[in-house]
């Protein structure tokens, strides 16, 4: 199993747009083959920051996910919405 975590922090005035883009991305991703879980949460320490938590069946499913047009569009949209570079961590884990 692959676990992906990440953060995105909205720039001033862009939180609602970031949240809308993130929610659409999460909803779309959940229907992809190999997606076990895909969630987004608001940070309790920084109200402009979102935290992403994903679980994928394997690396191959994650690579397909990363190459989807919707995923590519989401990453491109982040560039206009975030205050700092988003983070992304990918780890392999046993169930």
pLDDT tens digit sequence for 32-90: 999 999 999 999 999 999 999 999 999 999 999 999 999 999 999 999 999 999 999 99
Q: What is the mean pLDDT of residues 13-30?
A: 98
Q: Tokens for 28, please give them.
A: 């779309």
Question: What is the pLDDT, as a whole number, of residue 72?
Answer: 97
Question: What is the pLDDT, as a whole number, of residue 95?
Answer: 77
What is the three-class DSSP state of 47? coil
CATH 3.30.70.100 matches 11-92: yes
Question: Could you tell me which residues are beta bridge partners of residue 40?
Answer: 52
- Separation of first and last alpha carbons in the chain: 7
Q: What is the pTM of this model?
A: 0.93
Q: Which residues in the chain belong to E strands, given as ranges?
A: 2-9, 35-42, 49-56, 87-92
> Domain spans of the chain?
11-92
| CA atoms of 12 and 9, how far apart (whole Å) | 10
């Amino acid at each position: 199993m692959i676990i992906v975590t990440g953060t995105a922090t909205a720039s001033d005035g862009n939180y609602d747009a970031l949240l809308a883009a993130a929610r659409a991305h999460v909803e779309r991703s959940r229907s992809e083959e190999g997606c076990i879980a895909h969630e987004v949460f608001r940070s309790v320490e920084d109200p402009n920051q979102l935290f992403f938590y994903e679980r994928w069946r394997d690396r191959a499913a994650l690579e397909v996910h990363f190459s989807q047009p919707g995923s590519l569009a989401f990453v491109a949209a982040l560039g206009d919405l975030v205050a700092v570079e988003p983070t992304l961590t990918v780890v392999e884990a046993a169930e």
